[in-house]
Structure 1
Amino acid sequence: MRAVVTQMAAVSAALALRSPPFFFLLLVANSKATTLNITNRCSHTVWPAAVPVGGGVQLDPGKSWTLNVSGLTSSGRLWARTGCSFDGRGEGSCQTGDCGGTLACKDYGQPPVTLAEFRTGQGQADDFFDISLVNGFNVPMDFLPVPTLGLGGPGCSKGPRCEANITSRCPTELQAPGGCNNACIGNGTSNCEPTTYTAFFKQMCPDAYTDYNDFTCPAGTNYQVIFCPPFNLTVSPAPASSLPAPIGPSSKRPESSILRSHVVIIALVGGFLLLAVLVAVTFFRCNQRAQRQQEMEEEEEFGELQGALLRFTFQQLQVATWQFTHKLGEGGFGSVFKGQFGEEIIAVKRLDRAGQGKMQFLAEVQTISSIHHINLVRLIGFCAEKSHRLLVYEYMPKRSLDRWIYSRHDDYAPLDWSTRCKIITHIAKGLSYLHEECTKKIAHLDVKPQNILLDDNYNAKLSDFGLCKLIDRDMSQVVTRMRGTPGYLAPEWLTSQITEKVDVYSFGVVVMEIICARKNLDISQSEENIHLITLVEEKVKSGRLVDLIDKSTDMQAHKQDVVEMMKLGMWCLQIDCRKRPNMSEVVNLLESGDMKAYTNISNNFVATSPTNFGMAGNLSYSDSPEVSNLSGRR
C-alpha cells in the first residue's frame, strides 16, 4: 500500500507541476465561513475523507456532512471511500480510497477513487476546483456551487459533474475491487498524461479534468458535493422580483363616464385573466399531484422486487447499450438491444409504448422475477424511471428460433434433426413448469418461435411474459380478452374462455413450423398453401404427411421419426382442448422416445364453424400477477 500511495503522490505532483491551479472546490471566504455540504445519495454507505483539512466520517445513504474549509492555505482533495470495514479502534481497510487503514486519514487515498480537487482563493479573487479521474473512478460525483440569485451566483462557472456510474463498462484491464483504475496506475512511471485516460473516462464524464480544464467561483462561495447524484441535476435561479411598470402623468384627464367604462372593462378582463390563471394553476397542481401519486404507486409496485432483481437507472442502460445502437429485434411493445454490464453481455428490452405496454411490463417483471427454470430466460433486472420501462435479460447468442427455421442463408443454416428434437423438448419442459409446477398455473399466451431464444449450444428458453395470465388451481379456466399472435391462437379464443391448453395448441403449431421449416401463415405461398395447419389437415387425410417435411438431407433421412413427431404435434392441435395432452405428458413422451402413446386423435385441427371447444367447469376472471403466488420449484 505504501508503494501505491508513494506512486500516486508522484503522479499528483507531476500533474500539479504541469498544470496551472486546477484544484477542486471552494473556499476561503474573506470574512465568512466557506463550507462544503457533502451528501451521500448512493444506496450504500460511504466514508468520505478530506485532506488537508483532515477527518473522515461514516456517511449512510441520505445523510450529509458539512465541512468548514475557511482559512485553508493549500490545495485539497475530497473523495468517497467504499467497501470499508473497521475494527473497534477505528482501524481497517476500504476497497477504494484507502489511506493507511484509518478513518480520519491525513494522506491521499489509494486508487481507484473519484477525486474532487480544489484550491482556495488564498487572497486571490477566485477558487479553482475540478473532478479528477486521474486516480481512477469509484462513485459518481457532483461538485456544484450553492446558488444565490442564480446558478452559483455571479462569476461562478457551472461546476463539474460526473453523474454516470462507469464501472459497468470499465475495460477488463482497468477493473479493480470496487472501481475502475486509470490506465497509468501501476505502470512504474510518474509520466501520466491526461490523454492516457481521455478515451474512456473523458467519454463517460465530459466534465472530468483533462488538459487544464478547471472551474472557478469567487472566493468565499459555498459548495455542495453529492456522491451518486440524481441524473440531470440542475439548480434553478431564484426568481427576480416583479415590479409594476411606471405610469406617466396623463396629458388629459378623462371624463368620469369614460373612466368608469374603462374601469369596468379592466375589471372584467382582469377577472377573466385571474380566473384563467387560477384554473391553469389548479389543473397544473392536480396534474402534478396525480403524477406524483402515480410514481409513488409504481415505486410501491416495484419495491417488493428489488431484493430479487437489479434495479437499473435509465442512464446506466443507455451507457450499457451504447445509446441503444445495437438492435437485436423488435416486437409489438418494444425493441431489444444488445449491451454489456460489467463482464456480462445482456439484452435490454425497451418498451416503446405506454398504456397496455406498461401493464405488460409490470406483468412480466412480477411473473419472471419469481420463477426459475433452465428453460425460461433469466431476468437480470429492470428500469422503472419516470416514463422509461426496460427489462434486462441474459443474452442468448443464437437469438430467436424463427431465424433458424424460416431463414436460408449462411448465418442461419438448417438445423439437424437431433437439434430440432432438443429444441422441441426444451420448449415442452418450460411450458410444463409454468403449467404444473408453479403455485398458480401460468399461461404464457404467446408461444411462438420469436419468443423462443437459443444459447450457444441451441438450448431453448421461453421468453416474453408480457401477455401471461395466472389461473388458480381450483379454477379450470379464465375469462380474458383475446391476446397473442394470429396463427398461434387456439380455437377457444373465440369464446374468451381459455385454459393453459391454449399454450399446448400454440406448441403444436411451433412443432409443425420447426419440422416443415416455414411459417404457419405465409402469404408468400400460393393461396392454397398459405395456412400450414390447414395443409397438415389435408395431408394427413391423404396419407402424404411426408410432403411437408423440410427438404434438407438430414430431415429426409429421419422421415419415420419426423412423422411420429408430427403426430405428437397433431395431438396438441386438437380443436377440443380436453383432448389435448398436458405438457408433462408431452415431456414424458419426448424423453422416453415412445411416440405412440396418443390415441383417438381427430384429424381436424382448424375450426370452420361454431363448435364445442371443450370449455366447462369453474370460471375465473384473470387478475394481474401477484409475486407471492408465483414461486415454484426449479
Structure 2
Amino acid sequence: MVSFFLTLSSLFFFLCFFVHGSSAVDTISGDFTLSGDQTIVSSGGTFEMGFFKPGASSNFYIGMWYKQLSQTILWVANRDKPVSDKNTSVLKISDGNLILLDGNNQTPVWSTGLNSSTSSSVSALEAVLRDDGNLVLRSGGNGSSANVLWESFDHPGNTWLPGVKIRLDKRTGKSQRLTSWKSSEDPSPGLFSLELDESTAYKILWNGSNEYWSSGPWNPQTRIFDWVPEMRLNYIYNFSFFSNSTESYFTYSIYNHMNVSRFVMDVSGQIKQFSWLEANKQWNLFWSQPRQQCQVYKYCGSFGICSEKAEPFCRCPQGFSTKSQKDWDLKDYSAGCVRNTELQCSRGDVNQFFPLSNMKLANNSEVLTQTSLSICASTCQRDCSCKAYAHNEGSNQCLIWAKDVLNLEQLEEDNSEGNTLYLRLAPSDIPNGSSGKSNKAMIFGAVIGSLGVIVLVLLVVILILRYRRRKRMRGEKGDGTLAAFSYRELQNATKSFSDKLGGGGFGSVFKGALPDSSDIAVKRLEGISQGEKQFRTEVVTIGTIQHVNLVRLRGFCSEGNKKLLVYDYMPNGSLDSHLFFNQAEEKIVLGWKLRFQIALGTARGLAYLHDECRDCIIHCDIKPENILLDSQFCPKVADFGLAKLVGRDFSRVLTTMRGTRGYLAPEWISGVAITAKADVYSYGMMLFEIVSGRRNTEQSEDEKVRFFPSWAATILTKDGDIRSLLDPRLEGDAVVDIEELTRACRVACWCIQDEESHRPAMSQVVQILEGVLEVNVPPFPRSIQALVDTDEAMVFFTESSSSSSHNSSQKHSHSSSSSKKTTNNNSSA
C-alpha cells in the first residue's frame, strides 16, 4: 500500500547478503545442539537463529532474525516461556521433537509438539533453517526425499514472511494468525492479532474478539481485497489467494530481492510495513493500517486519552495516573489509567465532574434521548454507578457511562466533532479549588452569563453575516484572490452534494452551480488534520498558481472539520473516461492529434509546478483520473498542492487510490525521499496509457495479467513495429504521426527508469514532445526486466542534427550552436 496490505501493497524481501566463510551451520541434528552464543545460519546467509534478549529484559528467547540487520526479530519459539540463562539452556533434537530445555534441571519449556511415538521412530531427524526463513523439522534425508514433520511457517508470530500462509481452517473454524508482542521487550502474545475470516476478509482484532479494521472481502475479478486497492501494484509483489471446501489462505512472493522490508502486527495494534534504508542504516515506516493510531480499539486502556498530536499518543486525564508506568514506558498502554482517589458515593453527594473538552466520545455508553444538559448532569450525579456523562446538542442525547470509559480521543480545537465529557472525580482531585461548585451550578452560571452577551451581539452578527453573504453572491473575494464560501452555501450550490462526479484518495467531487449560473466542481476533502489558520494559508498559496494546463481554484470552505475546495467545472470530465471504455458505451474515440496535445499540455502543467512556481510543487498522484478536460479538450492537471494539505496523512491517499495500479515510482516502495522525479515516473506510466488506450496492467480473457510498459520497452529496445503500440481503435486514423508516436513512447520509457537521475525533468519532456530535443532509444527499466548493464552510458536524448557517428564530445560541442538543444543524463540530474 504500498495501502490494508500494503496497504498489503508492500511486504518482506530477502536479503542478498552472504555469510563470510562456508562453514556456517544451518542444521540442528542429533550431534549438534544450540546453547549460549551459538547460532545457526541459513545456507544463503539471509537468516540467523539463536538465543536473544529483547531490550533491557533479563529473559532469553530462541528467535530468528536477519543476519545482517542487527537482530530485527522475525520469529520467536518460546514466546510466553522465556529462559533465564542461555548458557545452561539448550535447543536440541529429543524424543522425536525439537525441544528447548531450561537451566540445569533441563525443564522442557518449548517443543514442536509432535506425537513422540510417531516422530521418534523416523530416522535422521534434524531441524534446518532454510533461506526463506522457514525452520523445518524433517527426516529421511535432504531435498525432495526429506519428510517434513513440522515447520515454523505453520506457526507465525508477529511477522509475515514471503511464503507464509495466513489461513482459515474451514473444518475447525480456527485461524492461523499474526499476533503482536505484548510490549517492545516482551514477545509473549499481545492483545492485537490479524486473521482471515469466513467472508474471505482479513481483520484486526483486539483480544481476539473486538474487530476494528478489515481488508474487505477478496474480489476474484480484480484479484485484490476490496478495501486494499494498493494490492494493484502486483507487478512488484505476487499476491495469491486460495480457497476450497476445507481452507482459505493468503500468501505472497516477491519479484525483486534487492530491497528489504518487513510486515509486522505491531504492539501499536497497527499492521505496519517497514522498508530498510541502507544509506541511513534504519527502518523506514512506509505503510500502516489503521491509518490513525487512535483508531486502534482500546489502545490507551480504561480512561486513557488518545491524541494524534504528538507521541506518546496516550495520557491520563485529570485525577488519574498510569496503572503501570513500566508498561507505558515500553509502549504498552493497555492497562490504562486508575483514579488517584477512590469515589465515596456512600457518603452522599460529594463527588464532582471535571469537564474534558474537544473529545471524541467513547462508544460504550448508555443513551438517553430528548434530554437537556442539566437533566443529564443531575441524572448522572444521583447515580453512584455513573462514572461520566456527555450531552450531544445536535441530537439532544444524554450519554452516560456506568462502566470504564474506553477509546477516548482528544481532537483539534476547531474540530466540529468534538464534545465535552464530564468525568466523575473525588473533590480532592478537582483543580483550582473548584470542588465546591456543583456541575449544575456551573452550567447555570454559564448559561446566564452567555445570555447577556448573546442579546448584545445578536443583531450585529446577523448584519455581518448578511453583508458577507451578499458580498460573496456578487463574486467579491476574501483571503487574497479566493472566495471564502460557507458550508451551507456550497450545500445549496450542490443540492446537498447529490450530483457526484467522482472520488479518490483526497475526497469526493460534486457538481454545483453558483447564483450567477456558473458551474463549479466542489471537492469535499477527507483526512485533513490542519488547523484553520494553516489550512487557509495553504489554500491561498494554491489559489495563486495559475496556468492554462492547471485547474483553477475559485474558492474554499473551512468550518471545523468541513474542508472543501471550489474549482472550475470541466464539462468533458477526466481523461480516463475517454481512454478506457467498452464498445457498449457511446463515446467518441480520441484521435491521435488530440491525444498528443493532451500529453503535451499535461507535461507543460507539471513543468510549471516543478520549475516555475516559487516553491517546487510535487503532485504525487499523477494518473488519468487527475487530468481533466475542458469544453475544448484542453488538459487541466487537478489536485495539485493537495499532498501538502493532507500532510502526514498523505500515505493514506496513496494507499486508497481506486483508479488503476502502477503509477507509484520505485522510491515510494523503498521509502527514500520523494522528489519531482516521482511525478515524472507517474507521467510516463500515464503516457503509455494515452498511447495504448488501455490500462497498463490488465487481465486478458485467458486470465493472464499483461503489463503494457514491458511490451512497449521490448518494441523500443528491439526496434520493433512502433505502430503495434498504438490504440487499435486508431487504425483508421490517417493523421497518426509516426515521429510523434515514437517520441512519446521513447520519452515514456525514459520516464519510468528506476533511477531518478536517469529520468528527464518535466521541462525536458516538454521539449522532447515539441521536437526541440531528439530522444534516444531508452534502456529496459530494471523494475520491468533486469536487462540493463549498470555500467551502460545512460544518455536519453541527443542533438537532432547530429549524425549517428558523432561521439559524445562532438554532441556536446554542437549544443551551443545548434537550434536544437542537447544534454546527457548526468547534466539533467
Q: Give the TM-score taking structure 2 as reference length.
A: 0.36
Q: Which protein is richer in helix relative to its size? A: 1
Structure number with bigger Rg: 1
Q: Which has the higher contact order (CA 8 A, sep 6+)?
A: 1
Q: Which protein is richer in strand relative to its size? A: 2
Q: Give the TM-score taking structure 1 as reference length.
A: 0.46
